[in-house]
Amino acid sequence: MEFLVASAVGLLTAAGVFLLLRARTFPVVLGLTLLSYAINVFLFSMGRLAVNLPPVINDLNKGYTDPLPQALVLTAIVISFGMTAVIVVMALRAYLESGSDHVDAMPERRSGGKDGQ
């Protein structure tokens, strides 16, 4: 179980970083979203990967599931959804202002000039 969760976190992180390095705005937004998912899965796994254990400590059960990472993940999901909405609106506004969806907002020059630019 631990190997599966660690592999999922690694795969989400790798895909997120790969998409962050693209020169277009939509892959950058997807990369940030995948990175936030990777962080959420990592935080969730920090609360112990225990099955059928209550999230409270008492004398009857030997183990417990820590409820704090679950609360942190719920908060992080809400915050990441709001930030994704803000980033999408900013990317759309930048596209409408510049006419290009490049991250650096510099349109490609295809016509040759004196300098060959």
Compute the distance between CA of residue 50 and CA of residue 3 in angstroms, rounded to an integer: 14
The pTM for the full model equals: 0.72
Domain extent listing, the chain: 2-49+64-98
Q: Which of 15, 42, 13, 29 is nearest to 80 (CA)?
A: 29
Q: What is the pLDDT of residues 94-111, one digit of tens each?
A: 888 888 888 775 655 555
Q: What is the pLDDT of residues 49-95, one digit of tens each?
A: 666 666 666 666 666 667 788 888 899 999 999 999 999 998 899 88
Tell me the average pLDDT across 38-43: 90
Q: Which of 8, 107, 12 is nearest to 49 (CA)?
A: 8
